[in-house]
Structure 1
Amino acid sequence: MKLTLHEINCLHCSSVASFTVVTLICVLVCPLQGKPSYEMDEQNPDWVPTLLMSPPSNMSTSDRRSRRKRRRSGAAKDQTAAKVQTATDMSDRQVEEQAPETPSETPGEPNNKHTAVQTIKAGEELSEAAGREDEHEPAAKRQPTKCQLCEERMAEVNRLLQENRELRSELNKKQLAENFFKDDTKKVTYYTGLPCFAVLLSLFNTVMPFLPASKKLSQFQMVVLTLMRLRLDLPVQHLCHLFNVSHKTLSDAFADTVDVLYTRLKPAVNWPERHCLQADMPPQFLKTFGKRVAIIVDCFEIGTEKPSNLKALAQSFSQHKGGHTMKYLVGITPHGSISFISNGWGGRASDKHVAENCGILSNLLPGDIVLAGRGFDVKDSVGMMCAEVKMPSFTKGRGQLDAKDVEDTQAVAHLRIHVERVIGCMRNKYKMLHRTVPITLLLTCEGEETTLLDKIVYVCCSLVNMIVKSNAKETSTC
């Protein structure tokens, strides 16, 4: 509230007012009044200030915001004024430097006015330029910073993606998957027994559509772990650690894969037609027996754990091996491929009993010759098929054999060694057939008469035939 000079004089002259003009002005400015207390009276309430000790707490937020805005605008104006002043000073210096070169029309006031006008215009232009620079300078500074930050982040993302790809590639190589065996024949031969990755891939493509899906293992890994167990006879627990699966998962995968391999690889073990055998008979057979040799047979035994059932205990004990075994009859062609494999028989069964009851005789044709060992005394059974059995001669109480018998025995023994070589190669390549197998493999599969061990032996024979055919193709190509 403001008072005019006249009002003040009137109040001064008025007798109604009992206080001075200064007091009246103070009252108008601040209605709160008081008086100082005695300085030694410390108990007096007025000894210390007690009014308006702090700013009001109910100050509105809008007031504070408006004051803050005014302060910022004032600071901005001061900064702009300073820049304009700087620009003006710079223009003055430029004008002073150019003054001696510029002729003046009159030595007096007109030249000064012209210079002042130029100075003002230059100052305005510089102030406008400075304002524009102030407007654009923060954005220009922020833009490079932002772009640089984006580039750094993109570089970091690309580096992490590349590192992720490298780690994935390295992990795939450690997971015994396709990349682990690709372009490495030594690994394929060591872990699977197959000659190269192309044969392994061909085998996988043959059985892949029939393999069951597994959450933990890929179909390729199922085939690989099965071949690794057959080839290296690795303990199941060790394979569980290699493939990072449980014991049950690996056992189920092994059984399922063997079942699929047994079904899909059956054509690999087949009895060839007679004209096929005679068309490519090896010379040593031609020289001794002509083209009549159809098959060479022999038996081998696989050790098993001791069964708990007394009947199975008696049937599986082998006098020849001195332990519990399963016996299999194998027949090979003169070319060296396996053409027949029987189901398993208890080790107590004789070679003659296995040969007469395994079904091999039904494949013989009239005039065929079967090369066999001394235990296969099946001349009567083979004679019923109008075929002939050639085996080493017996002394039968004689002191020595006749010259003809010795010659025939040597010829048969020399040719029979091929079947022993094939059986030895198969058991050496797939070491699971060389060691004692658990009794659980002798249990028949659900809904079948074939045991899991029978399927394993059949699969091994099929794989050996695949290897033989693959080697024959490579030899013919070379």
Structure 2
Amino acid sequence: MTDLAYRFNISQSSVTNIFHAWLYALYSTLGGLVRWPETDVCQLPEVFQNEVFRRVKCVIDCTEIFIDRPSNLKARAQTYSNYKRHNTIKILVGVSPTGCVTFLSTCWGGRVSDRQITCESGLLDKLLPGDVVLADIGFNMTEDFALKGAQLIVPAYTKGKSKLPKENVEKSRKMSRARIHIERLIGRMKDFEIIKGPLPINLVKRKSDSRITAGDKIVRVVAAIVNTNDAIL
């Protein structure tokens, strides 16, 4: 903001107002491009055309974005990620088998667990009986999905086992091929300089008159633009 104010010879407050006005315009216009599919209207990629994955509704994973260190001690604790060893915001991302971002949670502090952000993001309420969701091994919450009549499939656990059964090895191999979609989509989102971080605190702090932060708007706009790009398949 300081750099832009200097380059255009205007006040920093004017730059901030212009930035947020355009961010709101982009969010309002493009935000609808990230939407949950009502029906399966697209031809599934080959990797999903099998008995196990043909009912996959989405592939989920969490991603984190670095933020500046908060001065408030409580906020500092809530945003500190043991995995990243840094203060972060964490977002749950859902990707369709056809390679589009179909679900985004709001931004949470990096300390939140995968289970908590999944349960409280509203994702489970979108699932219908028979839906299948693929996730990484960290999403140890099959019962939460079962209560909705859905199935969560994660890779087979190898801890404490010298060798996995042949069928589990083959299933894990197919899962890896299917889950690569979400890794590529998140990678495309992280290509945008604005979310490479660290984000300033004022972009991730929730205002009293708003349910979402500027960070939420930025992430959704980036995801919407990614959805307009060429398919990853």
TM-score > 0.5 by shorter chain: yes
Give yes or no for contact 2:132–2:150 (8 Å, CA) kept in 1.
yes
1:281 to partner: Cα distance: 1.1
CA positional deviation for 1:446: 4.9
Spell out the pairing of 1:296-445 with structure 2 (5 A cutoff): 296-428=59-191, 430-445=192-207
SS of residue paired to 2:206: coil
Alpha-carbon RMSD across the aligned residues, in angstroms, is 1.7
What percent identity do the matched residue pairs reach? Answer: 36
1: CA distance, partners of 2:38 / 2:133: 15
Question: Which of the pair is proportionally richer in strand?
Answer: 2
Report whether the alignment pairs 1:265 with 2:27.
no
Report if aligned partners of 1:288, 1:411 keep a CA contact under 8 Å in 2. Answer: no
Q: 1:90 maps to which residue?
A: none
SS at match of 2:57: strand
1:461 corresponds in structure 2 to: 223
Letter paired with 2:155: P
> How far off is 1:317 after superposition?
0.6
Counterparts of 2:225 and 2:93, CA distance in 1:
14
For 1:432, what is the secondary structure of its paired residue?
A: helix
Q: How does 1:48-67 map to 2 (within 5 A)?
A: none
Residues 48-81 of structure 1 show CA distances to partners (whole Å, capped at 9, x for unaligned) of xxxxxxxxxxxxxxxxxxxxxxxxxxxxxxxxxx
Number of residue pairs matched by the alignment: 232
More helix by share: 1
Q: Distance in 1 between matches of 2:92 and 2:101?
A: 11
What's the CA shift string for 1:67-106, capped at 9, x where partnerless? Answer: xxxxxxxxxxxxxxxxxxxxxxxxxxxxxxxxxxxxxxxx
Per-residue deviation, 1:375: 1.0
Change (3 A) 1:445 1:465: farther
Post-superposition CA distance 1:212-249 (Å, at most 9, x none): xxxxxxxxxxxxxxxxxxxxxxxx23323444432111
Per the alignment, residue 55 of structure 2 pairs with 292
- Describe the superposition over 1:299-332 as per-residue Cα deviations: whole angstroms up to 9, x where unpaired: 1101111111111111111010001100001101
Q: Give the TM-score normalised by structure 2.
A: 0.93
The equivalent residue for 1:239 is: 4
Q: Is the 8 A contact 1:331 1:339 kept in 2?
A: yes
Q: Give the gaps of 5 or more residues in structure 2.
A: none
Contact kept, 8 Å, 2:47 with 2:174, in 1: the verdict is: no
**Cα separation, 2, equivalents of 1:302 and 1:407:** 33
Alignment correspondent of 1:449:
211
* Larger gyration radius, structure 1 or structure 2: 1
C-alpha distance in structure 1 between counterparts of 2:208 and 2:24, whole Å: 11
Equivalent residue of 1:265, what SS? helix
Residues 5-63 of structure 1, C-alpha deviations (whole Å, 9 max, x = no match): xxxxxxxxxxxxxxxxxxxxxxxxxxxxxxxxxxxxxxxxxxxxxxxxxxxxxxxxxxx
Of 392-401 and 341-350, the range deviating more from structure 2:
392-401
